[in-house]
Structure 1
Amino acid sequence: MQIVNLEQKLNLFTETWTPKIIGELNGQHVKLAKLQGEFVWHSHQNEDELFYVLKGTLIIKLKDKTVTLKPGEMYIIPKGIEHKPIAHEEVHVLLFEPAAIKHTGDVTHELTKEKLDWI
């Protein structure tokens, strides 16, 4: 076990839409990501995912509403719900997701990452 400093970990990478794994517990990965621009519409049929905003404003479009998250706020996307994250400026997020989750769900896109790095 070790202390994880989120700011130090965020300083280790610059890529956007490429989550980095920083921990694992009970089959869940704890990830950090930098987001900027628009992601792809997608869903995760068997997994919920949690977005916790550390920096910036994250917009999450859902089919029936739009959620806007500011630093210190979180939102859980239930499994099977189609969503599209949008970051007009660079946003830093902490994610909690099952280890088996696919980056873009069942959608294959140029932003899809097959394997995520541990940092």
Structure 2
Amino acid sequence: MSVVSPRQIAANLAELWSPRVIADVDDSYVKVARVEGTFGWHSHEHEDEMFLVLQGRLRIDMDSGAVELGEGELYVVPKGVRHNPSAAGECLVMLIERKSTLHTGDQVTDKTRSIADQLRPL
């Protein structure tokens, strides 16, 4: 075990929308990502997805409306809810997801990353 800085790790990531696993807790992964622009609509049929903004602002559009998150704020997208995260400027996020959660859920896009890719060394 070692102490890590999620914000620092996310800030040093080269790729946008490419989360990296920084810890695992029971059946969940703790991930960080550097994001900007629009991710794309998708859903996770059987898993909730938690977003915590480490820096910047994140918008999550859903069929029922949208939430806007600032630094230090979090939101849990309930399982089965279609959502589309976006950030007008660079944003650093931490995610907590079950280990079974597929990155782009029910969609496969150019942003899709395998669990193996998300687990590669930092």
Task: Please give the TM-score of this superposition, normalised by the length of structure 2.
Answer: 0.92
Q: 2:61–2:84: 8 Å Cα contact kept in structure 1?
A: yes
Give ranges in structure 2 of 5+ residues lacking alignment. none
Match of 2:47 in 1: 47
Q: How does 1:18-57 map to 2 (within 5 A)?
A: 18-57=18-57
Give ranges in structure 1 of 5+ residues lacking alignment. none
Match of 1:117 in 2: 119
Q: Pick closer, same or farther for the CA change 1:77–1:7 going to 2, 3 Å.
A: closer
Task: Please give the TM-score of this superposition, normalised by the length of structure 1.
Answer: 0.94
Q: Which runs of 4+ in 1 moved over 3 A?
A: none
Query: What secondary structure does 1:9 align onto?
Result: helix
- Cα-Cα RMSD: 1.2
- The CA deviation at 1:11 is 4.3
In 2, distance between residues paired with 1:71 and 1:80? Answer: 26
Q: 2:38–2:84: 8 Å Cα contact kept in structure 1?
A: yes
Q: Pick closer, same or farther for the CA change 1:16–1:30 going to 2, 3 Å.
A: same
- The CA deviation at 1:100 is 1.2
How many residues in Structure 1 have an aligned counterpart in Structure 2? 119
Query: What secondary structure does 1:116 align onto?
Result: helix
Match of 2:106 in 1: 106
